[in-house]
Amino acid sequence: MCAYHLERGGQQLIIFLIPLIATVSMAVATDFRSWKIPNKLVAVGLIQGFAVSAVVRGLPEGLLSSAKGCVIPVVILYVLFLIKALGAGDIKLLAVAGSFVGLGIYRVMIYSFLAGGVISIIYLLKEFILSITNRKKLSDRTECSRVGKRRVHFSAAILGGILYYATTL
């Protein structure tokens, strides 16, 4: 099992994920405000992830697990960054998640992309309904059709993926 948890009365207490959820929640808030995820927040998250992992899994195994969890999203998602399909902050945020969950980052990434798909479908449905009900001007409709004009805050999808991961442990 990639994650450490305690069992009490059939209930799982996943205490080590609380700093991760707090860090990613702050990243989502700043992403919605400024379309940026601060590097200082990423650095704090990485330090927390390595520290928690070292305490929970033991010093050599925990640090190695965190390192693997950090490198995997960067290597896999770098191509999406190059074609501007994913921002660097989103990849760094997934690296922070990897520092906490180790090789569980594969599941977090899958859940995050599924959450991103759901968010995108909801956004498209909203746009479609607004265009049908003529709540948008014609200029807004033509702007929507241009590629790259509408973006989604993927950090929210990452938070959704992490929360779902936490519930499946």
- Cα-based distances in Å from 89 to 30, 48, 96: 11, 17, 10
Query: What's the gap between Cα 113 and its chain centre?
Result: 9
Q: Which of 65, 49, 137 is nearest to 106 (CA)?
A: 65
Share of the chain above pLDDT 90, in %: 57
- What tokens were used for 110? 């899958």
CA-closest candidate to residue 160, choices 120, 114, 122, 126: 114
Share of the chain above pLDDT 70, in %: 83
Confidence of residue 144 (pLDDT cuts 50, 70, 90): very low
pTM across the whole model: 0.81
pLDDT at 85 over 90: no
Concatenated DSSP letters for the chain?
Answer: --S--EEETTEEE-GGGHHHHHHHHHHHHHHHHHS---HHHHHHHHHHHHHHHHHHH-HHHHHHHHHHHHHHHHHHHHHHHHTTSS-HHHHHHHHHHHHHHGGGHHHHHHHHHHHHHHHHHHHHHHHHHHHHTT-S-HHHHHHHHSTTS----HHHHHHHHHHHHHHT-
Q: From 75, 155, 166, 76, select the one nearest 115 (Cα to Cα).
A: 155
Least confident of 63-77, 101-115, 119-133: 119-133
pLDDT category, 147, cuts 50, 70, 90?
very low
